[in-house]
Amino acid sequence: MPLREIISANNALKFRKALLLWFVKHRRPMPWREKVSAYRTVVSELMCQQTQIATVIPYFNRWVKKWPDFKDLARSKESDVLASWAGLGYYNRARYLRACAIEISQLKILPTTAMEWQKFKGIGPYTAAAISSIAYDEPVAVVDGNVVRVLARIAGVKKVFSDGSTAVKYFTPLANHLVDVQQPGDFNQAMMELGALVCRKANPSCSICPVAQWCRAKKENLAESLPRFAPKKRQQAIVHRALIFDQDKLLLQRNPSDVKRLAGMAEIPEVDFLNNDFKSQKSWVRRRTIGSVTYEENINLITLNSSIRLKIKKQPTLEWVAFKHIKKAAITGPHLRWIEEWINLSDRPERGKAL
Ligand code: SF4
């Protein structure tokens, strides 16, 4: 049976009604819901990808205060945009957002449909559908991980998906069948909210679920086991880094703007430029995960000497940054945290004060 026939037109009507009633009562307050516009929707959707809502809210508020509209953002400097994004990760999102603002500020008419929004770099089908349905009431479904989970359970789909995007493609026709044509923005947000608050990955609250009567997984006692994904292959990598200070300055390595990962962002440099010609005074290990790779980062505190100074001069990607400017230097979130951690723990209190 085609997936969309699992819920008849009549039941789809009742499903929408029950879900929207629940959403009116249980929606969480979010700044982009208080005042809706295409710009605020684009900013919030890009910020919320791969990031927790509680983390996004203060970033969003600072962002829209600094750049209230596409035109303001179009006039920004990329370094300023990256510094304001620092800590949210996946920095290409910030770059795409600025590029999108530049393009849009040159248009006479704003794009309104998901098809039009998808033409901008960095705006995929999910974000385009969110923008067009929330800001322009286009009846297209938004399908993210939360919606996949709800639909897999509602339809009782036991198939094993190779990854999230395969599952999104699979459930999109059912999501479009269910979307409310009168209130598509609210419907989409309600589906995502249901996935986040009730139909959680672990311990779904089926007893209080507004759409439980149409849920096959609940009937079959399978809720927690759906959707099914093939196990991910995780990779590991080890990186050695050099933490080098010169008086009130710290050495950073800035990635060129054309690299794929972390373009334009600064980090604690890798030790490669020293050609093993260094002695670590002290070292410690930190871990972080990017995509499917877990990095073990060995950070070595290294004393600056004349030979190291010469090597630094030969590296165009290395730069000295004064402590007082560190927060504005577009440093990746984990590295900024580790630098601050070290400075706060160090026996050089004047460094802590400088931050
Ligand atoms: Fe999810 Fe349970 Fe609701 Fe089904 S009944 S949609 S499994 S919370």
Ligand 1 pocket test, candidate residues 26, 150, 171, 208, most atoms within 8 A of CB: 150
- The confidence score (pLDDT) of residue 49 equals 86
Mean pLDDT by 10 residues, the chain (355 residues): 75 94 96 94 92 93 97 94 89 92 93 95 92 96 96 96 94 95 96 96 96 96 95 90 92 86 88 86 88 90 92 93 87 89 60 38
Query: Considering its fold, how many domains does the chain have in total?
Result: 2
Cα–Cα nearest to 174, from 18, 1, 6: 6
Q: How far is the CA of 36 from the centre of ligand 1 (A)?
A: 29
Q: What is the DSSP letter of 294?
A: E
Q: Are residues 170 and 255 in the same domain?
A: no
Ligand 1 centroid – CA 149 distance (Å)? 9
φ/ψ of residue 293, rounded to 5: -110, 130
φ, ψ for residue 276, nearest 5 deg: 60, 10
228 in a domain, yes or no? Answer: no
Residue 148 within a domain: no
Query: Same domain for 180 and 42?
Result: yes
279 belongs to a structural domain: yes
Q: Is residue 155 part of a domain?
A: no
Which CATH number characterizes residue 127's domain? 1.10.340.30
Hey, whose CA ends up nearest to atom 4 of ligand 1? 215
- Kindly give the number of the ligand 1 atom that is closest to the alpha carbon of 150: 6
Residue 97 per-residue DSSP state: H
Q: Would you say 312 and 318 are in contact if contact means Cβ atoms under 8 Å apart?
A: yes
Nearest by Cα to 342 from 286, 295, 271: 286
> Cα of 12 to ligand 1 centre, how many Å?
16
The whole-model pTM stands at: 0.76
Domain contains 48: yes
Whether 78 is catalytic is no
> Are residues 65 and 185 both part of a single domain?
yes
Q: Which helix (H) or strand (E) holds 46?
A: helix 38-48
75 in a domain, yes or no? yes
Return the residue whose CA atom lies nearest to atom 2 of ligand 1. 206
**Gap between the Cα atoms of 210 and 199, Å rounded:** 10
**Which H or E run includes 78?**
helix 78-85
- Tokens, residue 137: 């009431």
Residues with CB under 6 A from ligand 1: 150, 153-154, 198-199, 204-206, 209, 211-212, 215, 217-218, 223
Q: Residue 351's pLDDT is what?
A: 43
Whose CA is closest to 96, among 173, 34, 43? 43
Q: From the alpha carbon of 198, which atom of ligand 1 is closest?
A: 8
Domain containing 317 — which CATH number? 3.90.79.10
* Euclidean distance between CA atoms 43 and 38, whole angstroms: 9
Identified catalytic residue from 5, 34, 45, 350: 45
CA 272 – ligand 1 centroid, Å: 52
Residues 176 and 112 in one domain: yes
- The verdict on residue 221 lying in a domain is no
* Rg (the chain; Cα; Å): 24
Residue 261 lies in a domain: yes
pLDDT at 263: 82
Q: Closest by alpha carbon to 113, among 103, 102, 123? A: 123
Same domain, 122 and 244: no
- Length of the chain equals 355
**Interior CA angle at 200 toward 236 and 48, to 5°?**
65
Predicted pLDDT at 345: 59
Candidates 102, 196, 111, 106; CA nearest to 149 is 196
Helices (H), 179-305: 184-197, 216-219
What domain range is 113 assigned to? 3-141+165-195
Burial 132-162 (b: 16+ CB within 10 A, else e): bbbbbebbbbbbbbbbbbbbbbbbbbeeebe
20 and 169 share a domain? yes
Same domain, 114 and 63: yes
